[in-house]
Amino acid sequence: MTIDKQIEMALKALASDKRLQVLDWLKDPVGNFPPQVDGDLITDGVCANFITDKLGVSQPTAARHLKVLADAGLIIPTRKKGWTFYRRDEAAISRLKRTISEDL
């Protein structure tokens, strides 16, 4: 994928208040989500069910938001014990910030 396509996908992902909210919550998963039985909030990420509940949307809507963020490379999905957990991809977010500031 070209860098222009990556930037385009990331900017589209960031064009939603709900997706921006998810990224903000995932900055501090321990402060924003309850403890999980399976998966560590920091190393594994936050269970999609917790994100869905906090967003106050249906599961399919939350899944779509999370897929857009993952496809844009802003979050990392991890499957564990039948659940999907999400955490921010800080390296990718830093690269995106740097690329945008250099190219614009």
What's residue 100's pLDDT? 85
Residues of the chain with pLDDT under 70: 103-104
Which three-class secondary structure string do you get for 35-75? Answer: CCCCCCCCCCCEEHHHHHHHHCCCHHHHHHHHHHHHHCCCE
pLDDT digits (tens, 9 = 90+) for 51-80: 999 999 999 999 999 999 999 999 999 999
Domains of the chain by residue range: 3-103
Topology, domain 3-103: Arc Repressor Mutant, subunit A (1.10.10)
What's residue 91's pLDDT? 95
What's residue 104's pLDDT? 66
What's residue 4's pLDDT? 82
> Is the pTM above the cut of 0.85?
yes
Q: What average pLDDT does the structure give for the chain?
A: 93
Residue 75 is which amino acid?
Answer: I
